[in-house]
């Protein structure tokens, strides 16, 4: 039996637990908020303390990047933390992330770090308008971001940015060049301790109000896949990464720029549960437990739709061909990621048809990215 401790006790830890069971990989999860080590499915308390869990497990990993550094460092000191604390820290601090991307030599949007108002003027001079402004620490789902189109808007948005900087120690804002992309894609892949790499098909992503809404695996030979693979290798190798890594890209006229990385399993890789030979959760555990990686080949055209702020869908959804509903067992809150639906088909055309069929069963306000 392999015992794995996941830092974070949300849906990603839960899906790792589900994927680990057939391999006799036993997953427990540390809930940072309540400081409890729990079973990711039942939330039953599994250890007296984090220290005890760290002692007892064979490997430790993380399901999110905003983890206190002292916890990361104490896990790493035991030699059983994967990927590496540096990868998690870079995923949680846009300054470190930008430096990492530059070091790995992968294209990304020009940027400038802002601590005070004068820095914002320098950013405009250096990068030009429009700017996308992102809090360096703590951002997710598009939270902690501003857009600056005209210099005249500075007076209106600066107080909010200044407040954000003042609110937490070491906080800053990263100003980024606005990229007028045609679409957003992501690449999920795994790297193991021997340096073997397996990547999934590139995924096209649609966000609504900063939150991922629809992901579709890109079928067939895409010229973007090779570009993304190269950039994935550069980033993963530069970190001596172990586990699943996600990279979000902007597709700008056929050239990919990295938006950001997520040093973990990723929402845009959930389709792999039904659409790939080995899903991202299993491959993450395989890497972390030092098993050979599983084949990542696409088995069927697949897409994933996020269920946000709802705790039920019509029964007819369960009856739809190729639809697989995954709930996270969370209490309902407006906009919260409550579950997802994976949709599979024999051909891309049939997949589109099934998504349209599904959209007829679901409210457009709740599922704005579904084709109708």
Name the site residues for Mg ion (rule: CB under 5 A): 248, 260
Report d(CA 320, CA 339) in Å as an integer: 17
Closest approach, Cβ 292 to ligand ATP, in A, equals 30
Q: Give Cα 127 distance to the centre of its chain.
A: 27
Residue with smaller CB distance to ligand ATP, 127 or 288: 127
Q: Is 266 annotated as a binding residue?
A: no
Query: In DSSP terms, which residues pair with 208 in a beta bridge?
Result: 211
369 binds, among ligand ATP, Mg ion, none (CB under 5 to 8 A by kind): none
Residue with smaller CB distance to ligand ATP, 183 or 193: 183
Residue with smaller CB distance to Mg ion, 264 or 354: 264
Closest approach, Cβ 257 to ligand ATP, in A, equals 8
142 binds, among Mg ion, ligand ATP, none (CB under 5 to 8 A by kind): ligand ATP
Using DSSP, state whether 93 is helix, strand or coil: strand
Q: Is 142 annotated as a binding residue?
A: yes
H or E, element range at 342: strand 337-344
CA distances 13 to 38, 64, 204, 229, Å, are 10, 10, 24, 26
Residue with smaller CB distance to ligand ATP, 162 or 252: 252
Neighbours of 44 (CB within 10 A): 10
User: What is the DSSP secondary structure assignment for residue 322, as one 8-state letter?
Assistant: T
Residues that bind ligand ATP (CB under 6 A): 109, 132, 134, 139-143, 176-179, 184, 207, 210, 248, 259-260
Q: Give the phi and the psi of residue 306 in degrees, each rounded to 5.
A: -80, 140
Closest approach, Cβ 141 to Mg ion, in A, equals 8
Closest approach, Cβ 215 to Mg ion, in A, equals 12
Q: Is 195 annotated as a binding residue?
A: no
68 binds, among Mg ion, ligand ATP, none (CB under 5 to 8 A by kind): none
Closest CA to 120 of 80, 75, 174: 174
Q: Is 250 annotated as a binding residue?
A: no
Q: Is 243 annotated as a binding residue?
A: no
Q: Is 367 annotated as a binding residue?
A: no
Q: Is 179 annotated as a binding residue?
A: yes
184 binds, among ligand ATP, Mg ion, none (CB under 5 to 8 A by kind): ligand ATP
Q: Are 98 and 297 in contact (CB under 8 A)?
A: no
Report d(CA 245, CA 293) in Å as an integer: 13
What percent helix, strand, coil does the chain show, rounded to 5? 35, 30, 35
Please identify which residue in the block is written with the tokens 């993380």: 62
| Annotation: binding site for ATP | 94, 134, 139-145, 176-179, 184, 207, 259-260
| Annotation: binding site | 94, 134, 139-145, 176-179, 184, 207, 259-260
């Amino acid at each position: 039996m392999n015992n794995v401790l996941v830092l974070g006790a949300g849906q990603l830890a839960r899906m790792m637990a589900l994927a680990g069971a057939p391999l006799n990989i036993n997953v427990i999860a540390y809930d940072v908020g309540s400081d409890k080590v729990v079973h990711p499915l039942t939330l039953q308390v599994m250890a007296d303390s984090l220290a005890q869990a760290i002692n007892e497990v064979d490997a430790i990993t993380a399901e999110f990047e905003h983890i206190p550094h002292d916890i990361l460092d104490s896990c790493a000191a035991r030699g059983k933390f994967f990927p590496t604390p540096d990868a998690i820290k870079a995923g949680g601090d846009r300054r470190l992330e930008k430096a990492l991307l530059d070091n790995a030599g992968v294209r990304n949007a020009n940027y400038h770090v802002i601590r005070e108002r004068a820095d914002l003027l320098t950013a405009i001079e250096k990068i030009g308008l429009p700017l996308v402004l992102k809090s360096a620490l703590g951002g997710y789902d598009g939270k902690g971001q501003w857009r600056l189109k005209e210099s005249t808007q500075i007076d209106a948005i600066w107080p909010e940015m200044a407040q954000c900087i003042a609110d937490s120690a070491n906080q800053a804002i990263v100003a980024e060049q606005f990229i007028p992309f045609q679409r957003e894609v992501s690449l999920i892949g795994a790297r193991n301790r021997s340096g073997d790499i397996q990547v999934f098909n590139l995924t096209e992503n649609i966000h609504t109000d900063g939150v991922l809404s629809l992901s579709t695996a890109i079928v067939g030979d895409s010229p973007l896949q090779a570009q993304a693979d190269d950039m994935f290798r550069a980033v993963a190798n530069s970190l001596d990464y172990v586990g699943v890594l996600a990279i979000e890209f902007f597709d700008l006229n056929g050239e990919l720029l990295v938006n950001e990385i997520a040093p973990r399993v990723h929402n845009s890789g959930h389709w792999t549960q039904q659409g790939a030979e080995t899903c991202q959760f299993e491959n993450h555990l395989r890497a972390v437990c030092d098993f050979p990686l599983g084949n990542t080949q696409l088995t069927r055209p697949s897409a994933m739709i996020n269920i946000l702020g709802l705790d039920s869908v019509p029964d007819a959804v369960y009856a739809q061909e190729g639809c697989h509903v995954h709930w996270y067992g969370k209490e309902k809150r407006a906009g919260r990621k409550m579950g997802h639906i994976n949709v599979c088909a024999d051909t891309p055309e049939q997949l589109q048809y099934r998504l349209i069929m599904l959209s007829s069963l679901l409210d457009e306000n709740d599922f704005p990215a579904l084709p109708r």
